[in-house]
């Protein structure tokens, strides 16, 4: 697979899966939490609508390097992205990323004073694509046991995400 196809595959997973685990750094280690991604493939950025009072804002201001993990269990695709995060206070950008479900958390809408955007600039993505089904996985293990070969459980390819 060429570089463009790898990058497209990364963005396809981000757009399809939506919710990921965002890992930030803090004084005592690492902290992960689920967030709904708002990818902007054309800009090469991933946004999250979030609350300004969350601990992640301070963690990101102190240490902006973050990790994102997306899992597409239906396709057995696992994606890890590393990038640089920053907090964005821009009503127009927040409105562009806003979804109706966000009103459950912020009834004041995108102009709610407690809302901000988390902007991630991806640097690298590491993608593991596995067999498409559990049957294929079982087959690969059975075949490996009979032949002594390693099971073919997918390809690990590291790709650079377009910035």
Higher pLDDT, 7 or 70: 70
* pTM greater than 0.85 (yes/no): no
Q: Which two tokens stand for residue 105?
A: 């958390």
How far apart are the C-alpha atoms of 45 and 52, rounded to whole Å? 20
pLDDT reported for residue 163? 41
**Domain with 147 in it:** 3-160
Higher pLDDT, 13 or 144: 13
Nearest to 67 by CA among 89, 82, 47, 88: 82
Give the other-Cβ count within 10 Å of 70's Cβ: 23
Give the other-Cβ count within 10 Å of 132's Cβ: 13
pLDDT reported for residue 144? 73
Tell whether the model's pLDDT for residue 133 goes beyond 70.
no
Percent of the chain with pLDDT over 70: 83
Per-residue pLDDT reduced to its tens digit, 44-91: 999 999 999 988 989 999 999 999 999 998 888 899 999 999 999 998
Q: Residue 13: which CATH number?
A: 2.30.110.10
pLDDT reported for residue 143? 73
Tell whether the model's pLDDT for residue 3 goes beyond 90.
no
How far apart are the C-alpha atoms of 43 and 69, rounded to whole Å? 20
Total number of domains in the chain = 1
C-alpha triplet 24, 122, 120: angle, nearest 5°: 55
pLDDT reported for residue 41? 94
Per-residue pLDDT band at 158 (split at 50, 70, 90): low
How far apart are the C-alpha atoms of 146 and 65, rounded to whole Å? 45
Virtual torsion, Cα 133, 134, 136, 137, nearest 10 deg: 130
Quote the mean pLDDT of the chain.
Answer: 86
């Amino acid at each position: 697979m060429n570089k463009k196809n790898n990058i497209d595959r990364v963005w396809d997973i981000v757009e399809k899966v939506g919710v990921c685990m965002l890992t930030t750094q803090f004084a005592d280690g690492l902290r992960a939490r689920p967030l709904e991604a708002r990818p902007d493939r054309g800009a090469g950025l991933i946004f999250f609508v979030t609350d300004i009072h969350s601990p992640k804002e301070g963690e990101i201001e102190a240490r902006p390097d973050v990790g994102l993990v997306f899992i597409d269990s239906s396709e057995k695709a696992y994606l890890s992205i590393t990038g640089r995060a920053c907090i964005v206070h821009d009503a127009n950008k927040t409105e562009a990323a806003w979804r109706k479900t966000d009103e459950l958390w912020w009834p004041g809408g995108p102009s709610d004073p407690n809302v901000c955007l988390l902007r991630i600039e991806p640097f690298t993505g590491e993608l593991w694509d596995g067999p498409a089904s559990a049957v294929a996985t079982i087959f690969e293990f059975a075949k490996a046991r009979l032949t002594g070969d390693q099971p073919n459980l997918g390809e690990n390819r590291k790709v650079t995400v377009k910035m």
